Amino acid sequence: MHGLQQENSQQETTSDTKRRRLESLRADLAEHNRSYYEKDSPVISDAEYDLLLKELENLEILFGETSDLTTRPQGKVAKGFRKVQHKAPMLSLENALTEDELNDFFRQTEEVVGSLEDVEFFGEPKYDGLSCSITFKDGIYHQAATRGDHETGEDVTAQVATIKNIPKSLVEKAHLIGLDVKGTLEIRGEIIMLKEDFERLNLEAKSTGAKLFVNPRNAAAGAVRNLNPDVTASRPLSFFAYSVVTEHGVGEALALETHRDSIYLLQALGFTLSKEAKLVKGRSGVIAHFESISQKRDGLPFDIDGVVYKINRLDLRKELGFRSKTPRWAIARKFPAQERTTVVQRIEFQVGRTGAITPVAQIEPVFVGGVTVSSVTLHNFDEVERLGVTAGDRVSVRRAGDVIPQIVCVTEKAATAVATLRPTHCPVCQSPVESTGAIIRCSGTYSCRAQVTGLLSHAASRKALNIEGLGETIVQKLVEQGLVRTQADFYELKEHHLRRVDGFADLSISNLLDAIEKTVGQTTLAKFIYALGIQNLGETGSKDVAKFFGSFQAFTNATQADLMSIEGVGETVSQSILDFFSDSGRLANAYRFHDYCKPIHQATSAGGWLSGKTIVITGTLSRPRETFEQLAEQAGAKVSGSVSKKTDYLLCGENAGSKMEKAKSLSVAIIDEAEFLRLTSN
């Protein structure tokens, strides 16, 4: 009996906990709705909101309850705007955050229309912007409205009229395709800000000391939902159309049969559409298209947070119908979150190989962009001050593709915030710091353990000496034991030295000494120069100067005029090189390193087919990328890490991703491995 009472008590406790969680979610989501819909200033990301809403829906099912938060649209008309009644509701879409949820959509659709094997879906990018309805009367721009609460939106006619890529008259183009536009025609789409326009807008804001925008979506929505059309006109906005309303007016009279028909019509009338929109067939077509867009995502000119899939045939849409706030014939397959909020636990200072002291925020671990992030670099102290970030703040963290995580903004200040002060001494060796603009550097150089560890790890890395088995952890142990301080010290290591280091056995000692010996007389001049760790001189710049000077001795005697004559070596890099060799200690260490390493200069072919050409390499190839870089350089080409207008060739392996898309947009010649080998052999 006692056991039964205890079990009932535990059940009641669990139920009470879930009830409190339900009420807490309702309060939190109501506040988030006000931030998003009324202030255009969300505190959490869309992905986090979706997860909270899904949790609330599950709890309401458990308790047999419903609320406006889960059953009704949440937007509403802001003060000062005239209301516009939508003739057909502007509904939201059901989200599929996982493949299982996508399969639920497929299963529910099959229950109504049967097998999906031959059913066509139209896949379109899910723009991260502001939904908008534009009405044309007798072919002339007449009215624009936001989504609002799906039934009633805000009249933003004057604001939207300032967007340059929206046609103000459809009459001429309608005439060309034999379309009668007498009456009303409603077009729906998304108002967005392109990535490059957003970056330019923030650069302008920064130059005037104005507040920076958090992301393109906020900048676009804030511009349109502003009572002053001049504000809208001052921001570089674009309208991407995605549907013709067929429930009334001209759209109804057209008697369109498919969504693709409406896309062709929008194109003919002069509206901007995404090139990524595509007709696909069945489950497999949807999944393959989603994977394709996922790979291209970072290279697209606008932000998207998923892909929308709509049944193509309009008669099947009527058969499927609607839920309370979403259609049953469409789904938004969402990407993993690229932006999440978390709390800064503390801000630490890290010292790099050039002495730069970098503030790093240690955060409560958060899963974002496909990985768990626990620390985020703050780059420099100007960035710390711009963000106003301190320990205890709630911040928004973004990670897109392979880009390093970054703190976008502070969403909530800590109750007792203590400002992060610039250090006056190195946190590792206590040497005084030196300031150069936004960068603060330790003056300790070879006496700073952190700088030495960073420098020697860099020298041993794959792109420099490529000493197998000599990673940062081993380098750190060697530095702590006082066995190495400069690159030349690697070559003086003996077996009895390494036996003093934890973790080394006979085989690992032999392997490491052999790996160091293999660099002697086998390291190219370019890799040797890169291994010196000269500030601002990267891998490509090292190749450029090695090619120009031909020998280490000539390089050490370089003048400002010599360096400035090398393409790609500007004033900053040339000054860094001159500063490096003007330090007698660094110069002596470099010569000692050179005498041990005995680097070779690898001549390039001045008359090869790739002479003077710039090539970018991407994707998975049959051999290591370094092999192809070496072949390209021997044939006279310059290897670059990014695609631009100056790129002549893009060598593509498998899973090429965004670089291939950019190359296509710039009409850069794309070649495969076989074509590349043919060019280099010639």
Which residues belong to the active site?
A: 126
Instruction: Return the H-helix or E-strand segment holding 96.
Output: strand 95-96
C-alpha 306/C-alpha 634 separation (Å) is: 43
- Measuring CA to CA, which residue among 338, 353, 470 is closest to residue 403? 338
- Measuring CA to CA, which residue among 306, 247, 222 is closest to residue 91? 247
Can you state the angle between helices 46-63 and 2-33, rounded to 10 degrees? 140
One-letter amino acid of 266: L
One-letter amino acid of 653: G
- Measuring CA to CA, which residue among 333, 296, 306 is closest to residue 98? 333
Q: How far is Cα of residue 611 from the mean position of the Cα atoms in its chain?
A: 34
Contact 234, 188 (CB under 8 A): no
One-letter amino acid of 667: S
Residues 68, 69, 71, 74, CA torsion sign: positive
C-alpha 669/C-alpha 597 separation (Å) is: 39
Pairing assessment for the beta strands 357-368 and 371-377 based on DSSP bridges: antiparallel
C-alpha 670/C-alpha 610 separation (Å) is: 14
Cα angle for residues 345, 342, 66 (degrees, 5° grid): 140
Q: Which single residue is written with the structure tokens 């670089």?
A: 659
Contact 347, 390 (CB under 8 A): yes
C-alpha 462/C-alpha 458 separation (Å) is: 9
- Measuring CA to CA, which residue among 222, 168, 157, 148 is closest to residue 192? 222
Helix (H, G, I), strand (E, B) or coil at 409: strand
Classify 130 in phi/psi space as left (phi over 0), alpha (psi -120 to 50) or beta: beta
Q: What are phi and psi of 337, to 5 degrees?
A: -55, 135
C-alpha 229/C-alpha 225 separation (Å) is: 9
Indicate the DSSP class of residue 332. Answer: E
371-377 β-sheet, strand order = 371-377, 357-368, 339-351, 394-398, 406-412
- Measuring CA to CA, which residue among 520, 527, 517 is closest to residue 552? 527
C-alpha 347/C-alpha 391 separation (Å) is: 6
C-alpha 591/C-alpha 553 separation (Å) is: 9
Instruction: Return the H-helix or E-strand segment holding 46.
Output: helix 46-63
